[in-house]
Structure 1
Amino acid sequence: MDDPSDSYPEEIKEWKEALMNNDRAAAAAKIQEYLEKQDNIPLNIAVTGESGSGKSTFVNAIRGIKNSDVGAAPTGCVETTMEVTAYPHPNFPKVTFWDLPGIGTTRFPADKYLKHVKFERFDFFIIISADRFRENDVKLAQEIHKMKKKFYFVRSKIDHNIQDEKENQRDFNEETTLKRIRDYCIQGLQQQGFEAPQVFLVSSRKLHLYDFSLLHETLERELPAHKRNVLLLTVPNINREIINKKKEAFQANIKYKALLSAAVAGVPVPMLSTTVDLRMMVTVVQEYVLGFGLDQPSLQRLANSTGVPYENLHAVIKSPLALEKINVDLLLKVISQMTVTGVLMTAKEGSRFIPLFGIPIAMSLSFTATNNTLNVFLNSLAEDAQRVFEKALGLETLV
């Protein structure tokens, strides 16, 4: 029979060697090191464009905040970004969106501009225009390409264009209008020397519409594997698929948390395993809450941006973990209502005293208890995220 740990990353396989040498503490340390490494992967996204293109609004929207919120990138009709400015994600500060001055507003040509903004720190560039892409945008993209970095053209303020067309055209058709805008941008880029450019049509005020989902899918596909989930967790819940992807990403990591739990359970120190498990679960569940936008600040920002009262969004939430400060006492209270988990945790501590077989039994019980508990927590929070999303967009009747 195949060893399931053979499918784990190389770092995780090292725990087998430590256990074979009866060094369970070393195994636990190696797994903990791997988990901490995964939680500290940085992602740096550069956003640039000409004055008035809407780049600062885009930076705010993708971070899930309004232009008027504290910590928002300043916006206005004139160029408000004169220096490179970092805007960390409010829930995941390792992810930073960098608002860059438009290349047309600086004294630097395209090649010098990239050195000025220290291009090497960015994972990719988003070049935004509210009309058609200009010569400066194209030159910048060409220089980024020379540096072997990825860049993406985003045509902003699409909602304004659609509204204007509705008011001015008797036979308005949204699909036709979107195609005309896209073709106009693509043709402009082709005239500047791009053979097959891709342009994403986006409304920062309505990320769930138009091409933002396609932009995210493209970024996800083209990012290195270890950074995909980092990006995913920061994306606002703009559709059900995003929520499901977040759930799948969280679920894929549960086995590593359970492995850590099992390794610690093998260390013959009374109550060490339960203490470590609870502390680890506090961190994990807090990440679930933040990733799904079920903390109070995120829910309030969603209420502000959608116009749906906070109380209405709050009313559809069922999990006792949402909107709460996650701590050991809260988890113990919730776990006490989960009969099977409580029994497994108690049995784990008691099994240590069984001669010869006690430690292996404790490790097995610990793995099962952690795996089951985190899955229950994750499922309940993912369901809440779906309900909040549906309420925010008035989609309850479609479910």
Structure 2
Amino acid sequence: MENQDPAVVDAIKESGESTLEKAKAKAKTKFDQFMSVSLNIAVTGKTGSGKSSFVNALRGLQDDDDGAAPTSPLECTMVTAMYEHPEMPNVKIWDLPGIGSPNFKAKKYLKDVNFNTYDFFIILNSERFTENDIILAKEIRKLKKNFYFVRSKIDNDMSSEKKKKGFDQQKVLSIIREDCQKNLKELGDPEVFLISSFDSEKYDFESLQNTLEDELPEHKKYALLQAWPVCSAATLEKKINMFKRMILAASSVSAAVAVVPFPGLSAACDTGMVVLFLTRCYYAFGLDDRSLTRLSEKVNKPHLKDLAKSKLVTAIREKALARLQVSAALATIATVEYLLSLLPVVGSAAAAGISFATTQYLLIEGVNDLANTARVIRKEAGLASVH
């Protein structure tokens, strides 16, 4: 390793492997998991409990967006419906028929909905949890998978209770939580998450994310955190730190020791990887037009979109496709020179003349650029505090 760049040598040592090729193979496995690991989330509950709105919220969509799960009161989930995440097709959210409906009896429900498909179950209700919910939870437990109770439409409860004298939001939330848990005693007092599908910044939406993240295998956490909507400043920082931790793996995949043999830097890094990685950041940090429009409307500040004006953000917005595919990403930004022109002080990375150093530099600078843009937007929206 004495002829290799010190940065590459350090990367090999950190990987725990003895050679560059072994380090690259290990890094590639980790990077591939990060970018494409599947996650299948099952959402079940009785008709009218707000399942479709919850499915849309997890996908970062409003109920009237193109591709959103239908929420009309005339719509009734009688068959299993699968919805891909708009920017991460490897994350799928399944809207399951309510247990106890005529076509889905409790005893054979899990077989009918293909139980093994899902990584975990969300059992959702807009009122008290019922005997059918408890039966389903017991069956899921028997089969060694996790389930989570989510009490939906908390915004409706708050709107109603605000009309009463002496309204105390925390007291109302405590009463609702205790009432839900009272019906679930025989399951050992499972946690109940109180959420509004229309305001992920409030109530237990972030707490639900934290719990899911804690209980998923590490490679599944990558998919969850990338796909989960930015529901708080803390969530944004988690996303930023996750992408920063993955930079070494991404850089190692493209590691090479040959000096660039001609002027220019197109051979000095894996352009497609850089573009794909930074485009995924762009969506995960909520910098796409749909996310910014939703945030602007929520806080009544139409100018928020104007703050996402860094050259890198603009380049991704103008070039990226709605669906992330590697082939599409390769075509978005044609040369490394163009990427480098968007970022400052490129000489030191360029001089290294190796794929690892150039890729690492671009990813560090790119993630920082996108992260700082997202922070500025949240601060302007009045949502900058990390609790």
* Matching residue of 2:338: 333
The alpha carbon displacement at 1:315 in A equals 1.6
* Residue 183 (structure 1) aligned with residue 178 (structure 2): yes
The alpha carbon displacement at 1:252 in A equals 0.4
Q: Is the 8 A contact 1:52 1:76 kept in 2?
A: no
The alpha carbon displacement at 1:171 in A equals 1.1
Aligned mates of 1:268, 1:395 — CA distance in 2: 45
For 1:387-398, list aligned pairs within 5 A. Answer: 387-392=376-381, 394-395=382-383
* Residue 294 (structure 1) aligned with residue 283 (structure 2): no
Letter of the 1:207 partner, please give it.
S
Aligned mates of 1:396, 1:227 — CA distance in 2: 27
The alpha carbon displacement at 1:283 in A equals 1.4
Q: Is the 8 A contact 2:268 2:358 kept in 1?
A: no
Q: Provide the TM-score with structure 1 as the length reference.
A: 0.83
Which structure has greater helix proportion? 1
Does the C-alpha gap of structure 1 residues 232 and 396 become closer, same or farther in structure 2, counting only changes over 3 Å? closer
* Matching residue of 1:356: none
Aligned mates of 1:298, 1:330 — CA distance in 2: 28
Aligned mates of 1:344, 1:173 — CA distance in 2: 57
Letter of the 1:376 partner, please give it.
E
* Matching residue of 1:101: 97
The alpha carbon displacement at 1:342 in A equals 3.7
Does the C-alpha gap of structure 1 residues 93 and 139 become closer, same or farther in structure 2, counting only changes over 3 Å? same
The alpha carbon displacement at 1:235 in A equals 1.1
Report SS of the residue matched to 2:271: helix
* Residue 115 (structure 1) aligned with residue 108 (structure 2): no
Letter of the 2:130 partner, please give it.
R
Aligned mates of 1:147, 1:259 — CA distance in 2: 39
The alpha carbon displacement at 1:215 in A equals 0.7
Aligned mates of 1:268, 1:378 — CA distance in 2: 25
Letter of the 1:372 partner, please give it.
Y
Q: Is the 8 A contact 1:53 1:130 kept in 2?
A: yes
* Deviation digits for residues 29-54 of structure 1 (CA, Å, limit 9, x no counterpart): 66445423432200000000011100
Aligned mates of 1:179, 1:316 — CA distance in 2: 39
The alpha carbon displacement at 1:281 in A equals 1.1
* Residue 384 (structure 1) aligned with residue 380 (structure 2): no
For 1:231-310, list aligned pairs within 5 A. Answer: 231-261=224-254, 263-266=255-258, 274=267, 276-303=269-296, 306=298, 308=300
Aligned mates of 2:307, 2:112 — CA distance in 1: 48
Aligned mates of 1:4, 1:29 — CA distance in 2: 13
Between 233-242 and 313-322, report the one with greater CA deviation: 313-322
Q: Provide the TM-score with structure 2 as the length reference.
A: 0.85
C-alpha RMSD over aligned residues: 2.8
* Deviation digits for residues 106-155 of structure 1 (CA, Å, limit 9, x no counterpart): 43322311000001010000001111001111111111111111000000
Q: Which has the higher contact order (CA 8 A, sep 6+)?
A: 2
* Residue 220 (structure 1) aligned with residue 225 (structure 2): no
Report SS of the residue matched to 2:193: strand
The alpha carbon displacement at 1:275 in A equals 5.6
Q: 2:318 aligns with which of 314, 319, 324?
A: 324
Q: Is the 8 A contact 1:48 1:125 kept in 2?
A: yes
Aligned mates of 1:218, 1:35 — CA distance in 2: 24
